[in-house]
């Protein structure tokens, strides 16, 4: 079975021997066979001997004829192999031996070139699948041991040498590290990691060896999740692909019967049976739907490959098709448009150094996110005693001074700032306030404005307070804001938005909205499993800028599919009319089949190489 028939049945080529070792062997042998068939055809044309024509036909078309016979036994009569066999055998019956052989040889060359094009489009997906290392360096008391990644347990220590891929997700247990994350996130610049940070599998260690404490089993690791998503992407077909498959099933038998009518009905009235049979054969070859059946799935496949190289994973072409038609993109705020961690954005107070020193020292013993944001403001030495974690803040004695740092309820100090305010008291006297906020990611404003340029509305749906949500929305240029909402309320808001909606989120609380939106887009760079499982599209590096990029890729892929279908239909219709009128020969018919399919493949691959 050739690649086009695999696509026609919506199955993977490797299930039919179209790829893998058997498929590769057939593809390798095809070109020498076609060259031998050409030599035999030349000899036949010179000697006019029928056995040489038959030999040339057998060498070039044996696989096609065998596939046609197998189709008959399986009840799949009207496939491309059947049409080609019927047309070429018919040419032999009416004495057009050279034409029958030439058609089969040309068809074979078309198959060979198209298979190469399909292989090229598979490369980007196969690169992702190859991210899965097949071995891990397990660190034991007596040294390192090379084992399969599946043998490593959560909590084990693994070592990764410079230039090697990280086989399993894990936490860096000592020092720092630099890694090439381009295969996972699409980002070209290396990323630096500190002790305690999680490093996902599939990235490449740079500069020095690193040691990780494994945090996930192989089946839960980042590369395995990517592999599952790629597999789902191959299986989840778009409505356009399903339509083409159904269309081919109905279209092919109709064309066969139309060709029979063209071949045998007109001779009843006007005679010249051989001439009308020839027209019927031309009509049959020209009508093959392979250009449609191959080009549409391949277009979506190329689009998915382009997105994958850019750090965007679609779980299927059906979601690519949906994303191309979205009217509104709704964003979660924390961890999606923002960094997901507090940082100092402003302060009040006459003595900045004193304010920072006392607040930072008082917060050193706190594990609260506010404490972790403030304590780095001063790294000098101080005598800290009587530390106490309070409701709404902390208190401590710093170098003999009683310091209280906390919110309005704890300190009695009020603030009109939309940011989180930490008021500082020194021996009961107010000395200033620190203002913290979860700052926007640098790419967020550009992402919102780019979507607006594309004619897509944006909305902000967050559980954050109204002042914080409105401040972020104002900075981003988003006018529709829903704040202080619970997870189930997010879903209801999504359902109430006009038109087709995409929702972008990152946490477990976003899962209902991700599942309920027309398209769910998850930020997956930090390994947020719940969001990634619920979503239809995954942004691998947490960059909001990838959202408009994903929409652009989806739109371009859909437009390309429309272009190749329109091109194929127009050419086929023209040749069918010419063939019925006796103005086309078998060569033109083959071009309408193989040539158009090949051109459609080239258009699909070239148009989906970049945005």
List, by residue number, the catalytic residues: 332
Asked if 91 contacts 54 with a C-beta cutoff of 8 angstroms, the reply is no
Asked if 504 contacts 331 with a C-beta cutoff of 8 angstroms, the reply is yes
H-assigned helices in 197-314: 222-235, 239-264, 266-270, 273-286, 290-309
Classify residue 19 as exposed, middle or buried by CB count within 10 Å of its CB (0-12, 13-18, 19+): buried
The residue count for the chain: 611
How far is the C-alpha of 297 from the C-alpha of 569, rounded, in Å?
16
How far is the C-alpha of 172 from the C-alpha of 204, rounded, in Å?
14
Q: What is the separation, in whole angstroms, between the first and last Cα of the chain?
A: 33
How far is the C-alpha of 474 from the C-alpha of 481, rounded, in Å?
10
Asked if 405 contacts 393 with a C-beta cutoff of 8 angstroms, the reply is yes
Asked if 168 contacts 135 with a C-beta cutoff of 8 angstroms, the reply is no
Q: List beta partners, residue 539.
A: 312, 523
Torsion sign over Cα 495, 496, 500, 502: negative
Asked if 166 contacts 205 with a C-beta cutoff of 8 angstroms, the reply is yes
In this structure, the dihedral spanned by the alpha carbons of residues 386, 387, 390 and 392, taken in order and rounded to 10 degrees, is 130
Residues near 82 by Cβ (< 8 Å), separated by ≥ 6?
68, 71, 72
Residues near 244 by Cβ (< 8 Å), separated by ≥ 6?
292, 293, 296, 297, 565
Asked if 121 contacts 304 with a C-beta cutoff of 8 angstroms, the reply is no
Asked if 439 contacts 346 with a C-beta cutoff of 8 angstroms, the reply is no
Q: Cα angle vertex 341, ends 340, 345, to 5°?
A: 120
Q: Please provide residue 333's backbone torsions phi and psi, each rounded to the nearest 5 degrees.
A: -100, -65
How far is the C-alpha of 518 from the C-alpha of 370, rounded, in Å?
36
Asked if 402 contacts 385 with a C-beta cutoff of 8 angstroms, the reply is no
- The label of the residue with tokens 């404005």 reads 449
DSSP for residue 595: I
In whole angstroms, how far apart are CA 111 and each of 5, 30, 124, 409, 593?
Answer: 11, 9, 21, 76, 11
Structure tokens at 572: 């086929």
Structure tokens at 4: 């086009």
How far is the C-alpha of 338 from the C-alpha of 320, rounded, in Å?
26
């Amino acid at each position: 079975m050739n690649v086009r028939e695999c696509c026609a049945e919506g199955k993977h080529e490797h299930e039919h021997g179209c790829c893998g070792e058997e498929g590769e062997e057939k593809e390798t042998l095809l070109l020498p066979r076609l060259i031998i068939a050409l030599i035999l055809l030349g000899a036949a044309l010179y000697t006019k001997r029928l056995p040489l024509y038959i030999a040339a036909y057998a060498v070039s078309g044996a696989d096609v004829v065998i596939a046609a016979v197998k189709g008959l036994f399986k009840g799949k009569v009207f496939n491309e192999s059947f049409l080609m066999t019927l047309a070429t055998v018919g040419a032999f019956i009416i004495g057009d031996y050279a034409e029958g052989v030439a058609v089969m040889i040309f068809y074979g060359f078309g198959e060979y070139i198209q298979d190469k094009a399909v292989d090229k489009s598979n490369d980007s997906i196969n690169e992702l699948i190859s991210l899965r290392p097949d071995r891990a360096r397990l660190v034991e008391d007596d040294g390192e041991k090379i084992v399969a990644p599946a043998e490593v347990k959560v909590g084990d220590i693994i070592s990764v040498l410079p230039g090697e891929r990280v086989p399993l997700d894990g936490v860096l247990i000592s020092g720092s590290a630099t890694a090439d994350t381009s295969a996972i996130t699409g980002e070209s610049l290396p990323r630096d990691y500190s002790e305690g940070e999680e490093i996902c599998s599939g990235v490449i260690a740079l500069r020095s060896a690193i040691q990780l404490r494994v945090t996930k089993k192989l089946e839960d690791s980042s590369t395995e999740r990517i592999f599952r998503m790629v597999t789902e992407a191959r299986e989840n077909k778009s409505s356009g692909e399903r339509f083409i498959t159904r269309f081919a099933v109905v279209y092919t038998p109709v064309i066969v019967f139309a060709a029979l009518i063209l071949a045998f009905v007109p001779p009843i009235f006007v005679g010249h049976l051989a001439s009308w049979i020839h027209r019927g054969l031309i009509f049959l070859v020209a009508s093959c739907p392979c250009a449609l059946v191959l080009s549409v799935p391949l277009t979506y496949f190329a689009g998915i490959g382009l997105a994958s190289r850019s750090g965007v994973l679609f779980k299927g072409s059906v979601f690519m098709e949906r994303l191309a038609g979205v009217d509104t993109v709704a964003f979660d705020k924390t961890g999606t448009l923002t960094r997901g961690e507090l940082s100092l954005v402003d302060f009040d107070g006459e003595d900045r150094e004193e304010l920072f020193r006392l607040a930072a020292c008082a917060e050193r013993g706190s594990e609260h996110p506010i404490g972790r944001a403030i304590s780095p403001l001063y790294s000098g030495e101080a005598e800290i005693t009587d530390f106490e974690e309070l409701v709404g803040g902390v208190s401590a004695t710093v170098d003999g001074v009683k310091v209280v740092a906390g919110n309005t309820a704890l300190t009695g100090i009020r603030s009109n700032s939309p940011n989180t305010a930490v008021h500082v008291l020194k021996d009961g006297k107010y000395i200033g306030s620190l203002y913290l906020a979860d700052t926007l990611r640098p790419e967020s404003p550009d992402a919102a404005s780019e979507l607006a340029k594309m004619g897509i509305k944006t909305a902000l749906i967050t559980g954050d307070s109204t002042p914080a949500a409105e401040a972020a929305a104002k900075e981003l240029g988003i006018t529709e804001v829903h704040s202080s909402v619970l997870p189930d309320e997010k879903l209801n808001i999504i359902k109430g938005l006009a038109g087709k909606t995409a929702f972008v989120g990152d946490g477990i609380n976003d899962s209902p909205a991700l599942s309920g939106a027309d398209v769910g887009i998850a930020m997956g760079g930090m390994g947020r499993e719940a969001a990634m499982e619920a979503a239809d599209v995954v942004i691998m590096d947490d960059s909001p800028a990838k959202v408009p990029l994903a929409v652009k890729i989806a739109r371009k892929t859909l437009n390309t599919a429309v272009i190749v279908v329109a091109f194929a239909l127009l050419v086929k219709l023209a040749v069918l009319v010419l063939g019925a009128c006796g103005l086309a020969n078998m060569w033109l018919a083959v071009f309408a089949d193989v040539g158009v399919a090949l051109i459609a493949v080239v258009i699909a691959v070239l148009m989906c190489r970049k945005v």
